[in-house]
Structure 1
Amino acid sequence: MLRQILLAKLHRATVTECDLNYNGSIKIDEELLEKSGMREFERVDVFDITNGNRFSTYIIVGERGSGVIGINGAAARLVQVGDKVIVMNYGIMDETEIENHKPCIILLNDNNKIESIL
């Protein structure tokens, strides 16, 4: 049996920009992508801690070291700059792969800098 398993999570990221007129996606600082293992164009779920909204989108790479978490397109109506969000990606694994898998959970500070990696 294959199961969908958490690969990585950016916990308590702060939304730094919203652009309703962009064609969609979430822009994430390239450094955060590298540390988490998330990839450009990968599907992610975004959970807004501040207001409870949830949506799925895909990743585009933001400037390295900028701390950018930018919500674009229609999803920009669901969040506001300053909101705290959780960004998660998943992978499909079989039972053998799951046994040795540990997700990468990154806790962020208010400036989207890494506080710790679990």
Structure 2
Amino acid sequence: MKRWMCKGKIHHATVTTADLEYEGSITIDSRLMTAADIRPFEMVQVTSFQNAILWKTYAIPSEKEGEIGLNGPPARMFRPGDQVVILSLAMVEDDELEDLKPRVVLVNEQNRIVDVIRKNTELKGRESDG
């Protein structure tokens, strides 16, 4: 069985730009992308803390430190100063779960890395079915 799993996340990032005229996507500081294991043009999910809007788009790396830019249509829903979660997902087979160690990238107000936490996907304290 395949499961949708979190493989990387940038938590509480601050939107720095919103460009309606750009052709689309989210522009992310390349250092943050590397830390969260997000590849260029990978699909990501962006959720706003301000209004709970969820948007799916592809990531474009930026060399500008701290940049988080929502481009195209989401520029109408995400504004500079909004805080967001950027989530990277993967389809994972059950036998691959043991090796999956999602990365959670914690950032400060300037979108600079404060910490990177590696999560464990093992179930703890699981009760038997019988």
- The structural deviation recorded for 1:100 is 2.4
Moved over 2 A (4+): none
Q: Report 1 or 2 for greater relative contact order, CA contacts < 8 Å, sequence distance ≥ 6.
A: 1
Give the whole-Å Cα distance in 2 for the aligned partners of 1:16 and 1:29: 11
User: How do residues 1-118 of structure 1 correspond to structure 2 at under 5 angstroms?
Assistant: 1-64=1-64, 66-118=65-117
Identical pairs, percent: 38
CA deviation vs aligned residue, 1:31-86 (integer Å, no higher than 9, x gap): 1111111011000000001221111010011115x100000000111111000000
Give the secondary-structure state (helix, strand or coil) at the position aligned to 1:38.
coil
- What letter is aligned with 2:100? H
TM-score w.r.t. the length of structure 2 is 0.87
- What letter is aligned with 2:78? V
RMSD: 0.9
- What letter is aligned with 2:39? R
TM-score w.r.t. the length of structure 1 is 0.96
Gaps of 5+ in 1: none
Gaps of 5+ in 2: 118-130
- The structural deviation recorded for 1:96 is 1.1
Which stretch of the first structure deviates more once superposed, 28-37 or 11-20?
28-37
Structure number with bigger Rg: 2
Give the whole-Å Cα distance in 2 for the aligned partners of 1:51 and 1:91: 25
